[in-house]
Structure 1
Amino acid sequence: MRLGCRSPRKEVGEFNPNYQQAFRKEILAPIVKYYFQGELQQINNLPQTGPMIVAMNHAGMCFPWDFLTLGYLLSETREWVVQPLASVSLFEHPWIIWWLPSQWSQVLGGVRAEIGDFEAAIAQGKILLYAPEGIRGPGKGWHKRHQLQKFDISFMQLSDRYHIPILPVLCIGSEFLHPWTINSKKLQRIIKLPFLPISPLMLILLLFPSMGIWAMKTRLKYFIQPLEQQIYSGKDRADTYQQAQKFRDKLQTQLNQELKSINKFF
């Protein structure tokens, strides 16, 4: 993290599982356990091994702590090496690499969210953490925080092509990582960010710029859904799109049910 007003050194790094493990143990562990209080629910649905695509809803509207937390919990529970798909437009933006070292996501196992890199990782049988909503997830703002946005189709196409199952995971609590936001599309275009969430909490960022990747304290709960062995078996893009949106509708129904259960409890 950038604790002073200086530019990061340009360094090139490759994924190192040992470094990922050390980072998880020494840095992520206390953050996940005591700050975000991450929990896996319905662990009976969690497979023993991969490969697979772990598909999760995304509503943090900030740095993807919901993804990092899930990756940590899966690794701790099953000793998996989990690699998230990282948006190129976000993680290589000059503002992001001011806070974090250049190519930090690749060093920690991030796979570039481009079809070639995505397919290569799938072909190698890796366990990938993926957000079907893409940038639309964190960019949807507070008023749509529980509404799943349009799903991309690439993960379904690759799942079908390489016979890789999809593990749906629903995260509840990520909406409070950066609450009460609106996405300023006008400013977003000016500074060339994929999304720009604006909220009263941005005043803290103006006073303490180095906290740009931080988030509010919340409780992240992950509800693991049954494994989807085969969602689609066809080649027509239009049909794949329809199947992806049906899959989204199914997860939306499950998310609504989980939210209703939590609200009843409290």
Structure 2
Amino acid sequence: MKYEQDKLNYKFSWFDWFCLWYPPGWLILFNRHWQRYHADPDGWNCLEYILFLIPGGFYLALLIRWLRLGCRFPRQGNEEFNPNYQQAFRQEILAPIAKYYFRGELKQGENLPEKAPLIVAINHAGMSFPWDFLVLAYLLGETRNWTVQPLAGVSLFEHPWMIWWLPPGWSKVLGGVRAELDDFAEAVSQEIILLYAPEGIRGPGKGWFYRYQLETFHPSFISLSDRYQIPISPVVCLGSEFLHPWAINIRKVGKIFGLPFLPISFLMPVFLLFPSMGVWAMKTQLCYYVQPVCLPNNPTDSNHTNAYRRAQELKENMQKQIRELNNI
């Protein structure tokens, strides 16, 4: 859709500021912003928003919305990535969260290349909504005026909980690329800034007792870097382990519900009372340290064994930086 100039400024009301500082309200912020720019007759309404803020009220709001929609799921649209909406969301919603809540900092920015294409590889943790990704995307956009597209788990696009929480197509419109090999390869071939976690879902799913320990890096990003001659910019993130502290992953139960991970922690009773807090995370400072760029090899020299070895070498280099920065 085309954005009219007079609609490019979402004004924070007192209610929005309240939602920003009251954890169950973050989901309201996301949906209200979407509805400012998109017609969404199936979306949440004012009464349902109010119920989000009351213990147990989300369940009543969900029932009311389901009945209002004629006992069906929200309709799926044919949404496509919209850089204009990404910019509006970045400036109007992400900015106050990244600056004042997560206090995001990008360090050693001189190591960033000047232009696309680029694969930004980051360690991923937190067992929560991917705030380490979103804050880095915001900082890269502010630093280089880049349009950044993150590679996101499939559950962010199609899990039933996400379809009820957020507008259908929300992740795709904001630039999310499905974490599937064909989608990954297509995105890289389009010469974009792609934000990627080589650990995959194993990173945020490892839990508190394995914090700061990187999981095996999948070699696909090395192979695609070589094939399309795209440099890799490794970024070490500190602070993401505290997005959901003291959490452990109940993997077997999570699989029953089709979840990428199922965290259990002291916060879970609160989440059960306020399910809208699923997009919230604990307050922590997210610091990003940009490492020197890794240049691609000649495509003729690329093979799976070589790609796997180089991926694990990069993992060890990033692991070393994490230990040094944390004085472990």
TM-score by length of 2: 0.76
Q: Which of 289, 300, 306 matches 1:223?
A: 289
- Does 2:117 correspond to 1:51? yes
Counterpart CA distance in 2 for 1:244 and 1:183 is 25
- Does 2:216 correspond to 1:150? yes
Deviation at 1:87, TM superposition (A): 1.1
Unmatched segments (≥5 aa) in structure 2: 1-26, 28-43, 50-60, 67-73
Q: Which of 223, 226, 236 matches 2:303?
A: 236
Q: How many residues align?
A: 261
Structure-2 residue corresponding to 1:80: 146
Judging by fraction of residues, say which structure has more helix.
2
- Does 2:39 correspond to 1:39? no
Deviation at 1:230, TM superposition (A): 2.7
Bigger Cα Rg: 2
Question: Deviations for 1:6-35, whole angstroms, at most 9, x for unmatched residues?
Answer: 354433311111111111111100000000
Query: Pairwise CA RMSD of aligned residues?
Result: 1.6
Deviation at 1:231, TM superposition (A): 5.8
Q: Which of 257, 269, 281 matches 1:203?
A: 269
Choose 1-10 or 238-247, whichever is displaced more.
Answer: 1-10
**What is the DSSP-based 3-state SS (H/G/I as helix, E as strand, rest coil) of the residue aligned with 2:260?**
coil
Deviation at 1:164, TM superposition (A): 0.2
**What is the DSSP-based 3-state SS (H/G/I as helix, E as strand, rest coil) of the residue aligned with 2:309?**
helix
Question: Deviations for 1:202-254, whole angstroms, at most 9, x for unmatched residues?
Answer: 11111111111111111000001011113686333233222211211111111
Counterpart CA distance in 2 for 1:167 and 1:231 is 14
**What is the DSSP-based 3-state SS (H/G/I as helix, E as strand, rest coil) of the residue aligned with 1:187?**
helix
Counterpart CA distance in 1 for 2:216 and 2:262 is 19
Choose 129-138 or 5-14, whichever is displaced more.
Answer: 5-14
Counterpart CA distance in 2 for 1:25 and 1:157 is 34
Structure-2 residue corresponding to 1:124: 190
Unmatched segments (≥5 aa) in structure 1: none
Q: Which of 236, 239, 257 matches 1:191?
A: 257
Instruction: Describe how 1:64-75 pairs up with structure 2 within 5 A.
Output: 64-75=130-141
- Does 2:265 correspond to 1:175? no
Counterpart CA distance in 1 for 2:244 and 2:274 is 16
Percent identity between matched residues is: 62
**What is the DSSP-based 3-state SS (H/G/I as helix, E as strand, rest coil) of the residue aligned with 1:212?**
helix
Structure-1 residue corresponding to 2:320: 253
Deviation at 1:139, TM superposition (A): 0.3
> Is the contact made by 2:157 and 2:172 (CA closer than 8 Å) also made in structure 1?
no
